[in-house]
Structure 1
Amino acid sequence: MMRTETDGIDSALARIAAAIEPQSSVPVSVQLRGALEYGIATGDIPANARLPSVRRLAARLKLSPVTVSSVYTALQARGHIEGRIGSGTFVADRAPLPPSQTQRLADFERQIAALVQAGRELGLSRQDIAFRISMAPPAAVLPLRILVLGTFLDATKAYANDLEPYLSDIDTISAASVADLGRGAEPAADLVICPHTLTADAQRLFSNLPVLGMTLIPNEQTRIALAGIPPEANVGVVSYFDDFLPTLKSGIDRFAPHLGRITAVPRDFDGLPDLLARVDVLIYSTGAEYLLKSLRADQTAIEYRHTPDSHAVRSKVLPAIEAVRAKNQTKDTQNENK
């Protein structure tokens, strides 16, 4: 059976289609770019997934092919997607790849040969060499300083706290915002972890360090709060960033499908004061906390907060961290031998 070109991401595209509002004050191109960008960041649209052609996506979303083409161009410029000649457009896999297993084994074989030769020159037999290897103390593990980079410092610190239990006890982790770095802060780090949407900024700010993209999902507290909203509630949704609005709306539709009265707007929406006055529940993205002072005591507020996806941490981030550790350890050993 032939696979469709969007096989595996149809559900994500369906949520994007449902979330885009042509009547919104946010331009459709901004909505689509943000929805695709955050879909990639949250793992809804996974790395190496093949995207629909411009014409197919335009037809599916009932948009102009020119609009879709401009969005693809912008995402490609940001490093989120890439064109592969003769194959189509794919989500980029920006995680640093460790050396291939074949190359590593070849290097290992050369090191063994060199070790055996050195042993023979000292009059040692293969058995002597093997015995000495078995008795050798394990090499000290190199600790790493890991920096988590984000947009809002409070949320970024939460990402770092959520990542810490996965890390080795010898590693240290800290958090910084892009704004902090713009004010001259220079945290010491061996590698940088950030949401996929910030990898271009991180690579610009830390051109000499490896940058790992981090997949985010709504955290457990957010999911529980969304599920607990009464079905009859009048719900207002406010996004700090215009291009995050479709993703915010589709996430709410996904985790609170029982809600029927939802109004989603950007934070600069002209009618925002009236909306805040009449809603029972306000769902706001990180960064829009200032809206809380406009609410009454009988209104409920829920922050749409993210956390690193545990599966992606184990399958992508941790192996990439160990690859960086091995590379740095090799450099240290070479420097010691000079």
Structure 2
Amino acid sequence: MALAFDPSYIDKSLPVPVGRQLYGLMSYLLSHGDLPKGTKLPSVRQMARDVGIAQATVSQVYQDLRDAGLLEMRKGSGAYTCLSIPQQSDHGRGSLRTDIEILLNKAERLGINRMTLVAMVNAQAQLRRTRSGLKIVFVAVFEGPGADYVDEIRPVLSPSDRISIVTFDHLRENENARKRCLDADIVLTFLHRETELTAIIGGANILGLRFIPSNNTRKALASIDPRARVAAITQLEDYIAIMRPSVQRFAPHVADIRVGWSYAPDVEAVITESDVVIYATGADHITRLVRPGVPCFEYRHTPDPAVLENELVPRLTKLREALERPDMGAREGEGERSTELHQGEMKQ
């Protein structure tokens, strides 16, 4: 698999620098796409030729992506993806029955009878209800959507866990917000913003989560009439170049797609001339410009279930063990605080 996209995704007529467009496009593909770790990217020269922009611009974009932790530069070899794609295991009762069968087999091998096993499970369930929860902070770009993301994360948390939200803007401006993150057991954010967050609160235990388009978004895109004139509007200039491929990914039958920035002078004209309007998260204010009867919906993302199951849950489990067993010492992860600090917090 290789990184490939239509050069027309970079629109030189837009009031957004081409380098900024390319960075946004590539950062999205590298953090939200399905490129396996170690995938070789086009060379700077090849990318510049394909897109039709200066090599110096592409070189700077690659350096910025490297600094953001989204790719690695190998001397004499080029640029490669450095993020692993999580694999989601089967969900539902069928998978749970398999897990129970494995547990029963393991208990039998250890000589534990079934009644004792049931008692152990009940005791663990009771402990889960009564033990002190973790303090978790989710750092969002926009507060409203951030609350929705937290609701989607909450099912994998313990009932006693406490999770709160703060935005990047508030974090930069407010010392108390930064302190709340530093005092948290873990801070969650978007995968492609993990490096940015680390620069703001370097002492925190941070985990970047991969997000994918939601099922409702996929269904809405697939249902668009192929003859429709579609407007795809973003709030953030950095991601203006990703709007067209994001729509085409689930609506390949749609040909007429015009992208725009929500604060551009011509955004009202773009929307007025369209049969369907799609807006990126945070750009909901443009809905007032949409004519009555014209389909209009948000291009919404959701936390990748595979990441929640295979990365977040194991990380939380280790944190709980560290809190409940002082002999384990400091929590794992960069910027950890000692168990004694957490014990002190729990007494307060």
Report if TM-score (shorter chain) is over 0.5: yes
Match of 1:261 in 2: 256
Report the secondary structure of 1:24's partner residue.
Answer: coil
Report the secondary structure of 2:212's partner residue.
Answer: strand
2:172·2:200 contact (CA, 8 Å) conserved in 1? no
Q: Within 1, Cα distance between the matches of 2:36 and 2:160?
A: 31
**Identical pairs, percent:** 29
C-alpha change, 1:70 and 1:51, in structure 2 (3 Å) is: same
Matched, 1:297 2:292: yes
Q: CA deviation at 1:74?
A: 1.6
C-alpha change, 1:318 and 1:37, in structure 2 (3 Å) is: same
Q: CA deviation at 1:252?
A: 0.2
Residue deviations 1:89-146, cap 9 Å, x none? 3334599xxxxxxxxxxxxxxxxxxxxxxxxxxxxxxxxxxxxxxxx99898763222
Matched, 1:177 2:167: yes
Match of 1:66 in 2: 56
Q: CA deviation at 1:72?
A: 0.7
Q: CA deviation at 1:32?
A: 0.9
Match of 1:143 in 2: 133
Report the secondary structure of 2:227's partner residue.
Answer: coil
1:146·1:171 contact (CA, 8 Å) conserved in 2? yes
2:229·2:276 contact (CA, 8 Å) conserved in 1? yes
C-alpha change, 1:329 and 1:91, in structure 2 (3 Å) is: farther
1:238·1:283 contact (CA, 8 Å) conserved in 2? yes
Structure 2 unaligned blocks of 5 or more? 86-119, 330-338, 344-348
Match of 1:35 in 2: 25
Q: CA deviation at 1:326?
A: 4.3
Q: Within 2, Cα distance between the matches of 1:47 and 1:193?
A: 22
Q: Within 2, Cα distance between the matches of 1:88 and 1:319?
A: 34
Match of 1:77 in 2: 67
C-alpha change, 1:64 and 1:326, in structure 2 (3 Å) is: farther
User: What amino acid sits opposite 1:209 in the alignment?
Assistant: A
Q: CA deviation at 1:87?
A: 4.9
Q: Within 1, Cα distance between the matches of 2:79 and 2:10?
A: 21
Q: CA deviation at 1:309?
A: 1.1
C-alpha change, 1:319 and 1:51, in structure 2 (3 Å) is: farther
1:239·1:288 contact (CA, 8 Å) conserved in 2? yes
C-alpha change, 1:248 and 1:330, in structure 2 (3 Å) is: farther
1:43·1:216 contact (CA, 8 Å) conserved in 2? no
User: What amino acid sits opposite 2:61 in the alignment?
Assistant: V
User: What amino acid sits opposite 1:222 in the alignment?
Assistant: T
Q: Within 1, Cα distance between the matches of 2:7 and 2:320?
A: 42
User: What amino acid sits opposite 1:145 in the alignment?
Assistant: K
User: What amino acid sits opposite 2:221 in the alignment?
Assistant: L
User: What amino acid sits opposite 2:259 in the alignment?
Assistant: A
1:159·1:308 contact (CA, 8 Å) conserved in 2? yes
Aligned partner of 1:158 among 148, 153, 161: 148
Q: CA deviation at 1:200?
A: 2.5
In terms of Rg, which structure is larger?
1
User: What amino acid sits opposite 2:291 in the alignment?
Assistant: R
Aligned partner of 2:218 among 187, 201, 223: 223
TM-score (norm 2): 0.73
Residue deviations 1:205-245, cap 9 Å, x none? 33222111111111111111111221222211111112211
C-alpha change, 1:40 and 1:308, in structure 2 (3 Å) is: same
Of 205-214 and 323-332, deviating more is 323-332
**Map 1:178-217 → 2, pairs under 5 A:** 178-184=168-174, 185-186=176-177, 187=180, 189-217=184-212
Q: Within 2, Cα distance between the matches of 1:43 and 1:190?
A: 29
Residue deviations 1:133-190, cap 9 Å, x none? xxx9989876322211110011111111111112334433222212333453534521
Report the secondary structure of 2:226's partner residue.
Answer: coil
1:18·1:250 contact (CA, 8 Å) conserved in 2? no
Match of 1:51 in 2: 41
Report the secondary structure of 1:263's partner residue.
Answer: strand
Q: Within 2, Cα distance between the matches of 1:191 and 1:39?
A: 26
Structure 1 unaligned blocks of 5 or more? 1-7, 96-135
Report the secondary structure of 1:269's partner residue.
Answer: coil
Q: Within 2, Cα distance between the matches of 1:265 and 1:332?
A: 56
Cα RMSD for the two superposed structures: 3.1
Match of 1:5 in 2: none
Report the secondary structure of 2:4's partner residue.
Answer: helix
Q: Within 2, Cα distance between the matches of 1:46 and 1:152?
A: 29
Aligned partner of 1:246 among 237, 241, 246: 241
2:135·2:186 contact (CA, 8 Å) conserved in 1? yes
2:140·2:168 contact (CA, 8 Å) conserved in 1? yes
2:186·2:205 contact (CA, 8 Å) conserved in 1? yes
Q: Within 1, Cα distance between the matches of 2:36 and 2:311?
A: 12
User: What amino acid sits opposite 2:315 in the alignment?
Assistant: A
